Amino acid sequence: MISLYKTSSFGFQTNPTHPHSTLLSTFVALKHTKKKPNIKKQKKLSNMESCDTNTLVSNSLSSLPVTPQVVLSPCAACKILRRRCAEKCVLAPYFPPTQPSKFIIAHRVFGASNIIKFLQELEECQRADAVNSMVYEASARIRDPIYGCAGAICHLHNQVNELQAQLAKAQAEIVNMQVQQTNLMNLICMEAAQELSPQQSVDNFISSSTNFYEENTSSLLWEPLWT
């Protein structure tokens, strides 16, 4: 018996005499000959989409205003003490990181705990002066461990007394010179008056002699008239 079924190239048996066998074989052929998706092209498209997304993000970020990056540096006190500098650190406004020697000197004499205690007991308007006073006292104490700031104050007080004595002496000399100048002017005036007095006496004598001569002459002129 001859088989009417024909095995196709895709493993299916079809009957060529059947009216739908040709359509079925064509459908199976199209199904199996369908192109596989291009994986490389899909990857390329995805890469292009990601690049476009990154470009859009970078453009949007570049359009935003650039804010300067603030780098918070610990104050000199916290840096030397090796501790975290808090946001409201009491020592930060008075011991900047650019002046570490300022805190080293004060810490060497007073100690960090005492400095913090002193500042907390004062108002904010007085803390800067207090820090400057502590730094000056600590510097003087390092230079002169015995007297410290008192020794410098005593030395300045002695200098003030010496300068005041020199000033009083200079003022006395000025008064003495003024008196001498007055006496000299009086003496010059007296000498000038004495030089002028002989000339005035001569002038008076000449004027008196002239008057006497005129009187005698007039009397002689009148005498012949009576004789």
DSSP of 149-208:
HHHHHHHHHHHHHHHHHHHHHHHHHHHHHHHHHHHHHHHHHHHHHHHHHHHHHHHHHHHH
Hey, where are the domains in the chain?
76-143, 154-201
- Residue 45 contacts residue 55 (beta carbons within 8 Å): no
Q: What is the pLDDT, as a whole number, of residue 224?
A: 52
Max intra-chain CA distance, the chain = 230
CB atoms within 10 A of CB 182: 10
Q: How far is CA 66 from CA 59, 60, 62, 69, in A?
A: 13, 12, 8, 9
Q: What is the pLDDT, as a whole number, of residue 68?
A: 38
The mean-pLDDT minimum among 17-26, 69-78, 117-126, 148-157 falls in: 17-26
The mean-pLDDT minimum among 126-135, 160-169, 183-192, 204-213 falls in: 204-213
pLDDT(133) > 80: yes
The mean-pLDDT minimum among 46-60, 66-80, 100-114, 156-170 falls in: 46-60
Q: What is the pLDDT, as a whole number, of residue 1?
A: 43
- Residue 109 contacts residue 135 (beta carbons within 8 Å): no
How much is the mean pLDDT over the chain?
73
Q: What is the pLDDT, as a whole number, of residue 59?
A: 53
The mean-pLDDT minimum among 62-71, 87-96, 169-178, 203-212 falls in: 62-71
Give the tokens for residue 114. 């005492």
